[in-house]
A and B are shown apart, each in its own frame.
Chain A
């Protein structure tokens, strides 16, 4: 089965809704960078913009942008991935609670703190009564959301889905994630809001033609080398000269060591690509691999700055890109994307 990727947008540390990152990414060296926000007024009322935290505003804006381009095609499912949910609201409620005790707390930060506030906000704003779910499992949150959609396309219980991934990073939370060595120089801690509109086996005619397709997805926990090899082989078959592998390397030696054995063997003869040098690191970062791949496949060539090891620098005529993530906590995902 193939899942079609029709539209995908981002708000991140690159200019919002733009694809200038393909040829001219903004380069960062700071360990903590906040997203570049669009003008939210185009997507929500001033009241809403005041009331909502940043993660929610970005999620709403990027989702609505995708929906605007979907020409009112009915969306059967809203599926969201987020590692930490509305971290600003959680932090605000938690700080008040710990500093001032259990009194005079305000309800709004609590209401906005649950992870599913993001997906619900999108549903409430668009009056969408369809399937709605949220995954919160570190850096496999987005892939879980995508997998959920994949299964339902396979079962034909849905025709279309809006899948998104959203994570913000406050200064305080950066400090905490630095302490546990998830973030910290040379890794660029970042923020991500990403959404995509997908269809399955029964694509509505109203959707724009697909940018690319997803033809396989597998989630694994602490797989052995052989299990990864098997999963890749089942999905890809033999690697072709027009293939590439995009992976979650980020400059942190511990993180990158997870990929090393695969780069040396399984992926030794295929160009390996990076994306976190453009979009940074956060639990929703793997969504940016998906987003970037969709745009790169549509374009057909991959600029040299993405390529980790290549004999020729930039890649042309790329037909398939395998997304490979294996984080130090043992969560692994393998997703095959290709030209339609």
Chain B
């Protein structure tokens, strides 16, 4: 059974929608800038913010300024709508679709704003209700309408990628014909400070795979895709954008916040995905790497790629120089970027890369591919070694 993508929606620091995203990627224009919207003491920090304040997002979502909604849910609604629209799924059909989202922050952006007042007599309890991860998925579903099942993955930075895995397994078992999968995550003081305590936030632009890389820039955003069986898409007469041809999930089982030097989990998740797709490693035309730009991630991911691909690494890059690390949403955001790369036959470059940390590992800096792109592998690795790889293939 073939699984197909018929719709995709994306929101990130490089714009709302696929068109703005594509423009930025092709013009090699980053969305990372000093903090503008997040209320934080770290005002000089470079982040990939969606360039709208909450009140502006509320207008776009179409809710009153007083309606309590996390930024996570608002970003998600915008991405969801774009995906459903492209897939041509009317509300009647969405009623029969599960919505599977990935997030970790959920409504933390609101909780951190109101936390101390929760314990006073004038507690804004409406924000307690939307604190947890699942609530953000419910809020998205309520705004969009429809959906016959909801659930939420929370495997840190691979959350959204794992939403694809569950959704795909539902299709393969015949539990559903069409699923809507992805993830959403807004910036919060909570995780910005958390990553800062771990000393893995670069004070400058992140430089994945560079010898002088010093950490990540955090980002935010959301992306969703409509994933269905080929039969379902054909029956509806929907345009097939790409196949989800393989996926793998494995645990590095090494450390809560660091990857193993040998990239065990990454190697396993990538190999499983390639095997499931019925491909040889050499068939992979491009790897959208997890590539956070932390001293630890990049060599570990490269070691894993070497184990899988041998001396002939396919072109690889990290697009986190454009969007920042969108954490739980990154699996979906980067899969939409991978989809655009396939559709428009270009290689997204690793922005800000200058100096190799190892001559074996030179990321993409020229966007014109030497070979046509056919199969793109997209990596998402989370804290705790929750590693997931997805492969999109051209129709």
| Pick from A106, A120, A140, A219: contact of B251, CB under 8 Å | A120
User: Most B CB atoms within 10 A — which of A95, A148, A176?
Assistant: A176
B2 to chain A, nearest CB (A): 15
- With a cutoff of 8 Å between Cβ atoms, the chain B residues found around residue A227 in the complex are 148
For A330, give its contact among B138, B162, B175, B385 (CB under 8 Å): B138
Does B357 make an interface contact (CB < 8 A)? no
Confirm or deny: A304 has a beta carbon within 8 angstroms of a beta carbon on chain B: no
> In the complex the two chains form, is B384's CB within 8 Å of A114's CB?
yes
A263 at the interface (CB under 8 A from B): no
In the assembled complex, the Cα of A152 lies from the Cα of B133 at a distance in Å of 24
Q: How far is it, in angstroms, between the C-alpha of A137 and the C-alpha of B147 when the chains are bound? A: 15
Which of B115, B154, B165, B250 lies in contact with A135, CB distance below 8 A? Answer: B154
B383 at the interface (CB under 8 A from A): yes
Chain A residues near B173 (CB, 8 Å)? 151, 154-155
- A129 with B253, Cβ < 8 A, contacts A93-B194, A151-B166 known: yes
Q: How far is the CA of A103 from the CA of B115 in the complex (A)?
A: 17
Docked Cα-Cα span, A146 to B386, in Å, equals 18
Q: Are B386 and A172 in contact (CB under 8 A)?
A: no
| Binding stretch for chain B, among A38-46, A78-86, A240-248 | A78-86
Interface residue B137 (Cβ < 8 Å from any Cβ of A): yes
A107 to chain B minimum Cβ distance, whole angstroms, is: 4
Interchain CB contact under 8 A, B135 and A138:
yes
Residues of B within 8 A of A129 (CB): 250-253, 264-265, 268
Bound-complex Cα distance A175 to B123 (A)? 11
Q: Which of A136, A138, A152 has the most CB of B within 10 A?
A: A136
Q: Is A160 part of the contact surface with B, judged by Cβ < 8 Å?
A: no
Q: A97-B190, A124-B256, A221-B147 are in contact. Are A114 and B172 (CB under 8 A)?
A: no
**Residue of B with least CB distance to A102:** B41
CB of B29 within 8 Å of the partner chain: no
Within the complex, the shortest CB–CB distance from B277 to chain A, in Å, comes to: 14
Indicate whether A94 sits within 8 Å of B111 (C-beta atoms), given known contacts A102-B42, A136-B134: yes
B155 to chain A, nearest CB (A): 4
What's the nearest-Cβ distance from chain B to residue A335, in Å? 14
A136: chain B residues at CB < 8 Å are: 104, 106, 132-134, 152-154
B368 proximity list for chain A (CB < 8 A): none
Q: Which of B116, B166, B265 touches A99 (beta carbons < 8 Å)?
A: B116
Which of A116, A119, A138 has the most chain B CB within a 10 Å cutoff?
Answer: A116
B366 is an interface residue with CB less than 8 A from chain A: no
Chain A CB within 10 A, most for which of B162, B190, B197, B384: B384
Say whether, besides A129-B264, A154-B173, A220-B149, A107 and B125 are in contact (CB < 8 Å). Answer: no
Is A313 in contact with chain B by the CB < 8 A criterion? no
Task: Please provide the chain A residues from 140 to 154 with a CB less than 8 Å away from any CB of chain B in the complex.
Answer: 140-141, 144, 147-148, 151-152, 154
CA distance in complex: A180, B155 (Å): 27
User: Which residue in B129, B147, B149, B198 is a CB contact (below 8 Å) of A110?
Assistant: B198
Closest partner residue, chain A, to B276 (CB atom): A157
Residues of A within 8 A of B383 (CB): 111, 114, 116-117, 120
Question: Is A331 in the interface zone, CB < 8 Å from B?
Answer: yes
Tell whether, in the assembled complex, residue A116 and residue B384 are in contact, meaning their CB atoms are under 8 Å apart: yes
- In the bound complex, do residue A140 and residue B134 qualify as a contact, i.e. CB atoms below 8 Å apart? yes
Q: How far is the CB of B386 from chain A (nearest CB, A)?
A: 6
Whether the Cβ atoms of B194 and A116 lie closer than 8 Å is no
The answer to whether A116 touches B155 (Cβ under 8 A) is yes
Give complex CA distance A172, B194 in Å: 21
> Are B249 and A132 in contact, with the CB atoms below 8 A?
yes
Nearest CB in chain B: distance from A282 CB, A: 12
Given contacts A111-B383, A117-B383, A136-B152, contact A172 B133 (CB under 8 A): no
Residues of chain A within 8 A of B254, CB atoms compared? 124
Taking a contact as CB atoms closer than 8 A, the residue among A97, A133, A137, A220 that contacts B386 in the complex is A133
Residues of B with C-beta under 8 A to A94? 108, 111-112, 115, 190
Interface residues of A (CB under 8 A from B): 78, 82-85, 93-95, 97-99, 101-103, 105-107, 110-117, 119-121, 123-124, 126-138, 140-141, 144, 147-148, 151-152, 154-155, 172, 175-177, 179-180, 219-221, 223, 227, 283, 329-331
Closest CB pairs A-B (n = 3): A120-B384, A137-B134, A110-B194
Contacts A82-B154, A120-B386, A134-B154 known; 5 new A-B pairs at CB < 8 A: A78-B251, A117-B384, A132-B155, A151-B175, A152-B169
30 contacts between A and B (CB under 8 A): A78-B251, A85-B154, A93-B194, A98-B112, A99-B116, A102-B41, A105-B193, A105-B196, A106-B197, A111-B256, A111-B383, A113-B194, A114-B104, A115-B155, A120-B386, A123-B384, A124-B384, A132-B250, A132-B251, A133-B155, A134-B154, A136-B154, A137-B133, A137-B134, A140-B134, A151-B166, A176-B128, A180-B129, A223-B148, A329-B135
